Structure 1
């Protein structure tokens, strides 16, 4: 799993700043660079091909000014992915480490993430895909919460699309361990980060908060995004989010089930009145037999 590299200081900087040296670093570790597929505040993501198997994978490269082992972001992500084993959580294949750089080798999603897919579609997601993607994301978050890990950054860019019937939760750089292992007591989160349109009201207040209910709020915002085809506006009124979810539930439901009202409670302003993730599992709308096939090609190899 771990592959430790100890280059000289200048050689390490070349890996980071020189594209050819970066390609050489990857090939020396068994991967051929295809192309850069994403930039983020915590690092860059590259599509690569395994020289052994020919399988396409993703490499998330994170760089630290100091020793990489002191970087909280990569430590949080790697520790979470090593602990969590779930079919709807992106799988960690290998970790490449130098003193100032960590590279996480991950599964590659052929269709990118939900946000990019929305931009490529000329219409909103159909009902069957919304239900499937939401159910699978909730299942992934339940795995996190069952292991006392809060994701803390649930938004469309962190939901990877592998096929018309498979999505996976990714990017655990802000994840938070919310229970003390020794005492068993809850630890309140003091990191007030995340996508502005998806963070809960209590996070905006910048006071210590319970991280699991904040994840549930973000799930409600994610459901709104998949229904409406757009991000919630910053500081959106909770009633607007809940009304949108209710309207959608009424439109697709064929019976008087409790999920019509309960799912809207994902976006309740009071975190204590939001459902637990185990309750969200029971509230979800039934699966549809209709299919959804993402449009647009998967990542193509370039020179």
Structure 2
């Protein structure tokens, strides 16, 4: 039965909504499906970004493509949501329902895990992404937005490719009239040089280039071109500059030489010289085979560490005042929301006010930020100055998104939903220190 002919998932099927991520075309929520007795993820359209008709077309495309390419390494679509989500003033919307990936994404793993990833896991991630991409291309589907945040992980840290908001049927199966510039977007740090040309039409070589940069990111555990804004990254890519591999070449790791060679072939400036994913798999499979015997121990080590680390952000289970909803039937009016925020602030800062901020631990500072976030979003005026203070802890791409927002409230929302949420107590503590430096009266008010 076709996906859109099935009964949709409606409000009465769901409870305990919680916002967990945002970006691209929409916002992702965690919710409990009462009939399925399991947690699900719901991706809703981003109404502020584009016209509703264009976004609905993108959602239908994404859901249809996800159903078409069902694979062990591609996120499965469970259904289509239709209803009024728990957001004040929101009208009837549609969204994609998928299984909930509790371990987040490779991006979360890079942020949350304090140590370098064990090599067996690094090589398996590289191999499983290649397997998933090979399957997509075999179905004439491009991902077109391959990056760490779109590679989700299940409880065993197995790869699930996600976010097909920018994916499309390959141009080999489409007429030129179906090519539109609106669908050639993507994260610029993972875009090939030819894609910066406005007349560019999507090709498989786009994904292969992105995979090369993703390989570098997985191995290094960080984002490429750190701290650079769009125009600088664009210039670097177009002039042939790529992430440095000299330090990788010095690592005495079986299979590393072959992987480095592969990533350099993938990000070649000439699209015709980039290898197809069927060739990539031969390299990644061989490299992973050298470390396969240690994969169980590696996964156990990482999962155990993630679950025991107090700094690891529990973004699926710790709702913030503005983002947790027990019901979608009774949205709070604006005045009530403000009162609730103040009440939360007053209650949550009692323990903070009883001690000197000079003796506050990192955890105390992080709790202060979480407990007062509703007020901080409204009252923080020096957002960019604070962001500059913690710039070393903020990815360049996130910094650019924050800087692009027009109001302080919007800047704070992006800062919280991105770096603060994913960075754990270390980043929140650094934010607290910067806030105290630039807006001491606000800190004193919330602590008093």
Question: By the TM > 0.5 criterion, same fold?
Answer: yes
Cα distance per residue 1:110-161 (max 9 Å; x no partner): 1111112211121232211111111111111111111111100000110111
Match of 1:296 in 2: 306
In structure 1, stretches of 5+ residues that fail to align are 6-24
Which one of the candidate residues 11, 15, 29 is aligned to 1:32?
15
In structure 2, stretches of 5+ residues that fail to align are 84-90, 226-232, 308-313, 320-325, 327-448
The 2-side partners of 1:193 and 1:66 are apart by 16
Which one of the candidate residues 192, 199, 203 is aligned to 1:200?
192
Match of 1:72 in 2: 57
Distance 1:267 1:66, change over 3 A: closer
1:251 deviates by 3.1
The 2-side partners of 1:296 and 1:94 are apart by 30
Match of 1:247 in 2: 249
Match of 1:262 in 2: 262
Aligned residues: 280
Distance 1:105 1:68, change over 3 A: farther
Aligned Cα root-mean-square deviation (Å): 3.1
- Do structure 1's residue 117 and structure 2's residue 117 form an aligned pair? no
Q: Secondary structure at the match of 1:174?
A: coil
1:231 deviates by 1.2
Cα distance per residue 1:153-210 (max 9 Å; x no partner): 0001101111344121000010021245488x9x877443111211111111233244
Match of 1:16 in 2: none
Distance 1:223 1:69, change over 3 A: closer
The 2-side partners of 1:231 and 1:281 are apart by 23
Q: TM-score, normalised by structure 2?
A: 0.56
The 1-side partners of 2:80 and 2:255 are apart by 47
- Partners of 1:34 and 1:301 within 8 A in 2: no
Runs of 4+ in 1 over 6 A off after TM superposition: none
Match of 2:75 in 1: 90
Cα distance per residue 1:28-82 (max 9 Å; x no partner): 1x12234110122411111111212321110111155766587332122112112
- Do structure 1's residue 214 and structure 2's residue 206 form an aligned pair? yes
Q: TM-score, normalised by structure 1?
A: 0.80
Specify the structure having the higher radius of gyration (Cα): 2
Match of 2:161 in 1: 169
